[in-house]
Structure 1
Amino acid sequence: MERHRWLKVAIFACLVAFSVGREFRLNHKHSGDAISFNHTLAEILVQYASAAYISDLTELFTWTCSRCDDLTQGFEVIELVVDVQHCLQSYVGVAKSLNAIVIAFRGTQENSIQNWIEDLYWKQLDQMYPGMPDAMVHHGFYFAYHNTTIRPAIVSAVERTRKFYGNLDIMVTGHSMGGAMAAFCGLDLAVSHNYQNVQVITFGQPRIGNAVFASYYSNIVPNTFRVTNGNDIVPHLPPFYSYFPRKTYRHFPREVWLYDVGFGSFIYQVEKVCDGSGEDPSCSRSVSGKSVSDHLVYYGVELSSPAWRSCRFVMDPPLAASYGMTDPNGNRVFSRDPEIPLIRLKEPSSLGGKSW
C-alpha cells in the first residue's frame, strides 16, 4: 500500500514537471519578436476583469471595492462608463505597476446567464467588419462596442491618459461578452488609432467572427491570448462547424486552456498554450464544454456580479455630481483629469449612495 501511494506521488510529480517546465512562444509575424504567455499578467488582468462587475460605482471609481486590491492595488480609474440603455459597463485607468493603461469590460449582466448562453447557439454572422473584405462578425458584440456610449468614452480616456503619462502600453481585458468587446476594442485601437503597443487577454470569450476576420485580427493584434477554463461552455459558442470553414464562426489565436490533471486528492491546474489555429482540437475543443460554473471562475477569481440586479448601479450623489456626465438616454460617464488627484472619500462603502 505504501509503495502504491508513493508511485502515485511520483506520477503526479512528473505531470506537474511536464506541464510547467516548458516555455511556450508565438512568433510575431511582423517583427520576428517572440510573444510569450505571461501567467502573472493573466492573474493580474483577471482581477481587473472581475472588478468590472462591481455595481457600487463609488467604490469602483475610487478603487476601494472588495475586488480592488491584492494584485491591482494602486490602480487609478480615469474613466468609468455605464451604458444603462444597453446594460454595458467598462472602465479605463492607469496601473503604474504594469506601466500600462488598463481597459476592462464587464461581461453579461442579466438575471439569467443561462438564457444568454442558449441564445448564443443561434447567433448568425450578420455584420461585415468595415475595411476588411469578407470579414464577418457577430452584430451584437460589434454593436456593443462600436455603437454605444462605450467606444467614444474609452477612446477619449486613452488619449487623455497618454497625453499626460506618455506612451504607455495598453492592456485590454474582459470576461464573457466583455471579452468579445475587449477584442473589438483592441482591434479598433490598433486600426483606427494606430496604437502599436496593444495587448489583449480575455477570459471565457465567445467566438466573434469568421475565419477571414480571425486572420485579420491575429495579424493586427498578435499580442492576444484567450484564456479558457475546463469545460466552460461560452468559448464553444456560437458553434464552430469545421465542414463549413468559410461560413462558420472561428476563434482567433491564441488560446490558453486551463484544465485539471491528477487523480483523487492530487489535482493540479495546468495551462496549455495551444496552437496558432485558434481552434486547436487538443485544447478546450477536446471537451464537451457544457459547464456554466467553469465560466464563472478563472484562476480562483469570481467573474460575475456580487448581486444579480440586472443593470442597476449605486453612486454617491456628491461624487456623481463632481465627476459624472449623463447623456439624453440616461447613460453615465464618470471622468477625471489625470493631472488632478481624485477626491478620496472617507469610508465610501458607508455612504449608501443613490441607486439608478
Structure 2
Amino acid sequence: MLRYLSFSFLISIASATSYDDRLADFALDFAAAAYANDPSKCIQKHGLQMAIQTKVACDSTYNQCWAYIAYNETIVVTAVRGTQTRLQLITELVETMSAPKKSFPSGGSVQRYFYIALKTIWKQGFGQKLSNLTKTLPKAHFLFTGHSLGGALASLTSSLFAHNHNRTITSDRISLITFGQPRVGNMDYATGHDELVPRSWRLIHRYDIVAHLPYCYESLFSRQCSSLYNHGPYHHGTEIWYPGEMTNSGYLYNMYRICTNTPLNEDRSCSNSAYIHYNVADHLMYFNKSVSDYGEAGCPV
C-alpha cells in the first residue's frame, strides 16, 4: 500500500509548477537519509531502491562527503549529506572566506569548497549514473535535495545535470528542494540556476543562520543584499520561509511565505529581515525533526 500511495503521490506532484509542502516533506526523508551510514530504511519507506552510494574524502582536511541516488520508475532522487563535523564546518568557512570562487559550467562562479566537493563526488560515477538513468527511465522526474552543505551540493548537482541534459530533459522534470542551504555562488550562478531549474525551492526554518552564510554584500544605505557587481555571494530562487516552529501546532504545512519580493532571491521581507535572531538551533530542525538524528534512525513514522 505504501508503495502504491507513493507512486500515486509522486505522479501528481511531478507536474506541479508551484511549491508543494508535501513534496518538501517527502524530500526531507531523503535529505535526512544522507546522514545515515545505511540510508536504505528511509529509501524503502517510499518504495525506492538504491542506484549508487558514494563516500569520499572531499576537502583539504579529508572530511568525507556522502551522496546517493535512489529511484523507482516514477522518480530519481539525488541526495547529499550536510556538514558532519566541526572540522568540516571550519574548513568550509576558511575556504569560503579565503579562496577565490571557481567558474561553473552552467554559468557564473561558485564557492571553491562546494565546487571541489561536487567535482570529487561527480568523479565517483555519479554523473554517469544520472546520465544512464535518463535513458533507462525516460519519463522519470529528477529530484535533488540536501540539508546544509548537502543543500549547496544538491544545488550544484541540479544545475550541472540540467546543463548537461538541456536537450533531452525538460525543466518541468527537474526539481530542487533544500533545507538550510548556504549561498552557493554569485549572481550569475543564481541567474543561470534559475533558468535551468525553475522548480527550485530553498526552505529556511525561522532564524537558521546557515541559510545566510557566507554573508552577502549589503548595499550602502540599507540592510539588503547586493550582488556587488557580481562579486558577492548571492542566493538563487526561491526562498520558502517558515517563520515559526514548524511543529504540528500550526506551522508544519500551512504557515510559510513564498519570498518573491525585492531584491530578487534575497527578499528583505523574509528571513533576511530577522538577522538579529539568527541561530544554529533552527538550522538543525526542519519539520519538527532533528534532520541528522531522524535520518540516522531510519526516518521513523
TM interval, short-chain normalised? 0.7 to 0.9
Q: Which moved more, 1:37-46 or 1:149-158?
A: 149-158
Per the alignment, residue 164 of structure 2 pairs with 192
Instruction: Please show how residues 1-356 of structure 1 align to structure 2 within 5 Å.
Output: 35-55=17-37, 59-60=38-39, 63-64=40-41, 67-68=42-43, 72-84=45-57, 86=59, 87-95=64-72, 99-111=74-86, 115=90, 119=94, 122=97, 125-130=100-105, 132=107, 135-146=108-119, 148-194=120-166, 195-196=169-170, 197-243=173-219, 245=227, 246=229, 247-260=231-244, 268=251, 270-275=255-260, 277-288=264-275, 290-304=278-292
Letter paired with 2:80: F
Answer with 187-196 or 37-46: which moved more.
187-196
TM-score (norm 1): 0.66
Judged with a 3 Å threshold, the aligned counterparts in structure 2 of structure 1 residues 48 and 234 are, in CA distance, closer, same or farther, namely same
User: Cα 1:290–1:206, aligned 2, differ >3 Å: closer, same or farther?
Assistant: same
Q: Report how far residue 215 of structure 1 moved.
A: 1.2
- The 8 Å contact of residues 205 and 283 in structure 2, kept in 1 or not, is answered as yes
Secondary structure at the counterpart of residue 25 of structure 2: helix
Pair 1:164–1:294, CA change in 2 (3 A): same
Deviation per residue, 1:54-86 (Å, 9 max, x gap)? 02xxx43xx23xx456xx432211111111454
Residue 201 of structure 1 and its aligned partner are, at CA, apart by 0.7
Equivalent residue letter for 1:49: A
The TM-score with structure 2 as length reference comes to 0.77
Contact 1:241 1:248 in 2 (8 A): yes
Shift of 1:198: 1.4
CA distance in 2, matches of 1:85, 1:240: 25
Q: 1:117 to 1:160 in 2, by over 3 A?
A: closer
Contact 1:109 1:305 in 2 (8 A): no
In the alignment, is the contact (CA less than 8 A) between 2:242 and 2:251 conserved in 1?
Answer: no
Alignment partners' CA distance in 2, 1:166 and 1:193: 12
Cα distance in 1 for partners of 2:22, 2:202 equals: 15
Q: 1:78 to 1:167 in 2, by over 3 A?
A: same
Q: Which runs of 5+ in 1 are unaligned?
A: 1-32, 309-356
Q: 1:68 to 1:213 in 2, by over 3 A?
A: closer
Residue 243 of structure 2 aligns to a residue whose secondary structure is: strand
Q: How many residues align?
A: 259
Shift of 1:119: 4.3
Moved more, 275-284 or 120-129: 120-129
Q: Distance in 1 between matches of 2:22 and 2:58?
A: 36
Letter in 2 for 1:299: F
* Change in CA separation of 1:202 and 1:109 when aligned onto 2, cut-off 3 Å: same
Please say if residues 125 and 209 of structure 1, whose CA atoms lie closer than 8 Å, have aligned partners that are also in contact. Answer: no
For 1:129 and 1:85, locate their aligned partners in 2 and report how far apart those are by CA, in whole Å.
18
Query: 1:330 corresponds to which residue?
Result: none
**Contact kept in structure 2, 1:52 and 1:90, CA below 8 Å:** yes
For the aligned residue pairs, the C-alpha RMSD in angstroms reads 2.8
Q: Is the 8 A contact 1:49 1:173 kept in 2?
A: yes
User: Residues of 2 paired with 1:163 and 1:267: CA distance?
Assistant: 42
Give the Cα separation in 1 of the matches to 2:232 and 2:206: 23
What SS does the corresponding residue of 1:45 show, helix, strand or coil? helix
2:292 partner SS: coil
**1: CA distance, partners of 2:175 / 2:52:** 19
Task: Give per-residue Cα distances to partners, 1:221-272, cap 9 Å, x unaligned.
Answer: 11100111111010110011132522211101110001128xxxx7645211
% identity of equivalent residues: 28
